[in-house]
Amino acid sequence: MIDLKLLQKDFQSVSDKLMRKGVSIELLDTLKKKNEELKSAKAAYETLQAAQNAMSKEFGVYKKEGKDVSELKEKVDANKIKITEALEVQRVRQEEMEALAMSIPNIPDDDVPEGKDDSDNVEIKRVLTPRTFDFTPKEHWELAEQNGWIDFERGVKLATSRFSVSFGMGAKLERALINFMLNFNSKRGFEEVSVPALVNRAALEGTGQLPKFEDDLYKVQDQELFLIPTAEVPVTNLYQDEILPSEKLPIKMTAYTSCFRKEAGAAGRDTRGMIRQHQFHKVELVSITKPEESDRVFEEMVQTASDLLSSLELPHRLMTLCSGDLGFGAAKTVDLEVWLPGQNCYREISSVSNTREFQARRAKIRFKDGDKNSFVHTLNGSSLAVGRTLVAIMENFQNEDGSITIPKVLEPYIN
């Protein structure tokens, strides 16, 4: 959640930054109206409270001087009623403001490039040179079916479209990738954790998926439980509503989970293959840091994901997302895009984001900052999406006869 105190202090500056992220003028006008109503409610309460304090002092003087206090007492009693009413108005206005603020995205960092969509993202660098083929490379769904690794039709039979079933070496490679990624991240200082695949509403509100993205979540009928869209949700919320000791930070974690998304806004996109599925496996990185350490940890997380791709011999590039392409909770994001020769393009395989204190405010995650409690910074990133990594291996390591060579680092994981 954005800092409401900052909003009240400098509404225009915050509004200008939110407009960079695509927030509509209509929503900002509503936000401004609610902000002014809250300020007026607070001012009315403070005026009445000041009058009460003044009358209380006067009441003491009257009694000391032996004056008749009956008329003054009536005024004091009447003002108390007004104070109670004003306090209730202030509470309602505060709740309205906070409810609206929950639907407002994070403020982008000042150094985030200007832009409307992914065409305005800025390339940072490319890592490894794509292989040159002396034959026309196939796309992953052809290779998957030819080798018997993935069955898309049986996935539909068991569930619906955008589900698949892995067989034989395809299933073994998924398991190998998960173990390899977790081990790799652990060696980089990220503690492995295992978390539930179901979370409550408070957890999803804490990381920003609710209330805005409820239509994209799978909900358990008659319960306030949801299948997780990413391990970011349960791992970040491990420390929900806690005050952490300063010396415990940074906390760096990695987790494997299955993830579930309706892909409500992706109709017609990537309908073939494994790029965009309703259920997929992912290994996640999550960090909880002091504000002054978050930039360093952010770069460390980006490097970890990049080095992981390099160890798998997968060419990729790093992209800084522009303001219009940033996610709801992100203040800054670097995407890692892997080269897919079958598609002859780079496709996203990891997204590393710094949310600053946006999620920490919502989830109430703080740390002991000297004599006061301050909000932590939370960061998250894919390391990596397992299905997309398998896709990249199939396309980059394919042979002319359709067979696929296994990357050397994975050989110990598949015997």
Give the residue numbers marked as catalytic. 261, 276, 348, 351, 388
The C-alpha atoms of residue 154 and residue 158 are separated, in whole angstroms, by 6
Residue owning tokens 């401004």:
32
The residue among 253, 251, 238 whose CA lies nearest residue 190 is 253
Angle formed by the axes of helices 25-65 and 70-101, nearest 10°:
160
Under 8 Å between Cβ of 348 and 326: no
The residue among 336, 346, 319 whose CA lies nearest residue 122 is 319
Under 8 Å between Cβ of 244 and 376: yes
Residue owning tokens 């110990």:
412
The residue among 40, 33, 38, 30 whose CA lies nearest residue 104 is 30
10 Å CB burial of residue 54 (0-12, 13-18, 19+) is exposed
Q: Which long-range contacts (CB under 8 A, 24 or more apart) does 365-369 make?
A: 365/236, 365/239, 365/240, 365/241, 365/242, 365/244, 365/288, 366/242, 366/243, 366/244, 367/243, 367/244, 367/245, 367/246, 367/248, 367/249, 367/290, 368/243, 368/244, 368/245, 368/246, 369/246, 369/290
Find the farthest-apart pair of alpha carbons in the chain and give their distance in angstroms, rounded: 107
Q: Extract the tokens encoding 268.
A: 């017609």
The residue among 333, 409, 366 whose CA lies nearest residue 106 is 333
In sequence order, what are the residues at sequence separation of 6 or more whose Cβ sits closer than 8 angstroms to the Cβ of residue 311?
184, 409
The C-alpha atoms of residue 35 and residue 27 are separated, in whole angstroms, by 12
The C-alpha atoms of residue 385 and residue 177 are separated, in whole angstroms, by 10
395 to 36, 85, 93, 138, 181: CA distances (angstroms): 56, 67, 56, 7, 20
Could you give the 3-state DSSP secondary structure of residue 413?
helix
> Which ranges constitute the DSSP H helices of 201-282?
201-207, 232-236
